[in-house]
Each structure stands twice: as C-alpha cells, then as structure tokens.
Structure 1
Amino acid sequence: MKRPYVIIVSEVTVDGKLTLSKGVSSKEIMKFMDEEANRYLHETRAKVDGIMVGAETIRTDNPYLTVRYVSGKNPTRIIPTSTAYIPPDANILKKDSPTIIVTTEKAPKERLKMLSEKVEVIIAGKEEVDLIKMMDILYNRGIRNLMVEGGSTLNWNLIKNGLVDEIRIIHMPFIVGGTDTPTLVGGEGFKSLEEVVKLKLRAHFMRGSHLITEWEVKYEG
C-alpha cells in the first residue's frame, strides 16, 4: 500500500487537553494562540496536499480548514465519517477549496445524495471507514502529504493503524483538567509498554509565546 505522509498537528494544553470540556469547540482554546502560532499552523496547511478532521470536529467547530494567516494554496479537505452525518450548512461544503467526504456503504442514501451534489464522496468500507483503504485512495488521487487536525478519536485510529509519521504540538500554557476532557489521543489505548508507540523529538522552538515541539513517530516491528 502507498499512502500519504501524515502529520498530526494540534494545539494542546500543558495537561494534554484539546478542549475546555467534552463537546466544547477547540476554538475556545485556540483563542489564546498568538499571531505567530497561528502563522505556524497555517504555514503547515499551505505546504500539504490535504487536511483531515473527523466529522465530530465538523459538527462541533464548523471549521473552514483553509489557509488564511499566510499566502498559499488551500489543501483538499478530507472528512472520514461512517454515517456521512455532515450538516448541510457546514463550512467545508463551501466552494473555497476541494472537499472529499470518505464514508461507508451503510451511510444513508439521502445523505450521500446531498453531499455528492456539493463535494466529492468516496466509499471506503462497509460499517466503518477503512482508513488503510482510504489512505491508498488518497495517495492515488495525488494527496502525498496529509495534515491531520482531528480530535482524539481520529488521532487514536490513525496511530493504532500505523498511519502517522509526525506529530507537531503547539503548546498552550495553561491547565484545564477534567476526567472526561478530550486529550490528544483517545480510544481504548495501548495496554502495555510493548505496544506503545514511541516518538523521537526532532525539533523544539518558540513561535511567539508558544513552545512548538515536532516529533517523529517510531513504529517498531
């Protein structure tokens, strides 16, 4: 299988949280990012072929996923969703950049019809989106570098399947807490040190008032 080079980029608090609480938009935390940190985020967007988030991020944050703080092309927006549940007024359905919805055979036909009238729809999987098949399809469509700004569930599923090459973190200098507050990676988690995915620190630097760390993912076996 050929697949894109995948980079997870995320704004994360000191205690590893993505939002203020479960169900709250990550835009609340992103309000604290200064211009230089935003520029770093959008520089990365401008350098990749595609940008991916999960459907829950679309429903909660309603992002545009375009390049704004720097000059550059908008990447293709890619949304994996097993049910194709995307609000009809979602910003990613606007024509400012290409969008691909990756869904499954179980998705309701009326949703597929609505989406296919606005954007490209790809079927990859029966009950759940087959991420490995999806990556192969994206590569063959010219997506060679893919940025992921997803939530904890999407991040977990990509890492679990060995589909991530880098993780870049914009550190937010505060603590949120909360047992149920989403963290960078969710899911069932790895249960032993033999299973965990190891990282190698590639770079660390300041952009504005924010520490940025860039990590290489080191899969073993």
Structure 2
Amino acid sequence: MQQILVLYNQTVLPPMSDHSNRPYVTLVSEVTIDGKLTVTRGASSKLLMQFMSHEAEVLLHQIRAESDAIMVGANTIRIDDSFLTVRHVPGKNPIRVIPTSKADISPDAHVLSPDAPTIIAVSARAEKDKCEALAEKGAHIEVCGDDLVDLHVLMKLLYEKYAIHTLMIEGGSTLNGHMFQENLIDELVLIHLPFIAGGEDTPSLVTGLHPREVTDLLKLELTSHYLAGDNLITKWRVIKT
C-alpha cells in the first residue's frame, strides 16, 4: 500500500508510479544555495546539518518514519557513520539499505546497530570474509551484480523480497548521480541552507552525469515550496523521459 506523508499540514500521497517492480523513490537532501552537500570534499554533512532549523529536522525524520526503507552510499557511512534511525517524531525506523560493491563497510558502523534491519547490497566480487563479518553483525547480504551493484536489480529485490514500496535516499553526490542516471528517482525534496560553499571539488547534489546538450539535462517540475522554520523546502517531481 502507498503510504501517506504528512509534511507540516501538507498531506502528500505518493502517486501510483508506472512501474510495478520497484519502490517509489524520494531523494531528500540538505543543500547550500549553490547546491553543495557539505563544506569541502571528505567533510561530514553533519557540519551543515547542525544549522538546520528544528522544524526542518522534524521534516527530515518525519519522511524517514513514513518510508519503508532509507538508502545511503557506503562513502556516506564511512564519513558520517550515521544510525539512519528516526528521532524527533514518533514512528518506526526504516529498513537501512547500503549499496557497496566491495562490501567496504566497517563491522563496527552504527548502521549495523539492532535498531532496524540493514541490507548490504554487494557485487559478486565482494570479498567473502568482509561479507561474512557484516552478516555476523546481523546484516542481510544481497548480491546484486557481477562487478558493480546493479541498481535496477537492487530496486526489484527490495520491492519483491522485502516488500519495500517507499524508499528514501539521503545519499551523497555519487549515489544520487547513479540513481538519476538510471531513472530511478521519482521525487526530490530539498532543504535549503543559507550558505554558499563555492569549492570546485566540494560535492554537489549530483555528480557523474555528463550532459552535452540542453536536451540531455534532467527535467523536474516544482510541486510545492514552503518554510520549515527558517529553511526553505522545495519539492520536485522528476519528469520521466
């Protein structure tokens, strides 16, 4: 069943998508005015997130609570070491999903805490001992590709095996780019922060895309905008091509 997200008196029912074998995917991210995710490359996004208003934090955790699962990349786990659980609002913790082709996650990472199930998606070339170490910590190890994690395979597995119908992404620029490139994102929620980072190598919301013409650009439609405390929130629908 589709779940209802209640966002500050705005009731949002995720539309029925034209796909039947993957979750409805919402990318949620805080960004600076110039679209950066953090202060500089390799720095934790928590440096910026500390300046989010309480209302914006509540919004972020409300979306987590209303999502069946949450997905971030392995590099985000290595840098932020987040639990990816729900705070600030009542609700369940989402299933945690981490795609990492080589199983490059520490067995001591907070994302392996018993607060919620954790799915680690790996490729066939992931080292067996690394996978076993993660499995011993309770992670569900799923092979979703030969050399790299095939995101389409992963999305189908999440939907069919784990009954995940709504997936929230709080990824870094690389995961975001891969998901957009594979046409796997349905909507985008941005929490705008009043800073300009400006660094040439500072990660932006999306990297890895290589448009050559205007017709190559990803197209989105603004569906709503409002303030959560002092932070502007914009919500976008991805126009499928």
Query: Residues 3-82 of structure 1: matches in 2 within 5 Å?
Result: 3-82=22-101
1:195 aligns with 2:241: no
Query: Residues 135-150 of structure 1: matches in 2 within 5 Å?
Result: 135-140=155-160, 141-150=162-171
Q: Which residue of 2 aligns with 1:110?
A: 129
Deviation at 1:216, TM superposition (A): 0.1
Deviation at 1:189, TM superposition (A): 2.7
What are structure 2's unaligned runs of at least 5 residues? 1-19
Matched letter for residue 197 of structure 2: V
CA distance in 1, matches of 2:46, 2:57: 12
- Say which is worse superposed, 5-14 or 113-122, in terms of deviation: 113-122
Aligned match of 1:175 in 186, 189, 196? 196
Aligned match of 1:161 in 170, 182, 191? 182
Q: Which runs of 4+ in 1 moved over 4 A?
A: none
CA distance in 1, matches of 2:179, 2:211: 13
CA distance in 2, matches of 1:15, 1:9: 16
CA distance in 2, matches of 1:55, 1:191: 29
Between the two proteins, the alignment pairs up a number of residues equal to: 220
Aligned match of 1:123 in 143, 146, 152? 143
Structure 2 length normalisation: TM-score? 0.90
The 8 Å contact of residues 181 and 209 in structure 2, kept in 1 or not, is answered as no
SS at match of 1:194: helix
Deviation at 1:188, TM superposition (A): 3.6
Q: CA RMSD in A?
A: 0.8
CA distance in 2, matches of 1:205, 1:187: 30
What are structure 1's unaligned runs of at least 5 residues? none
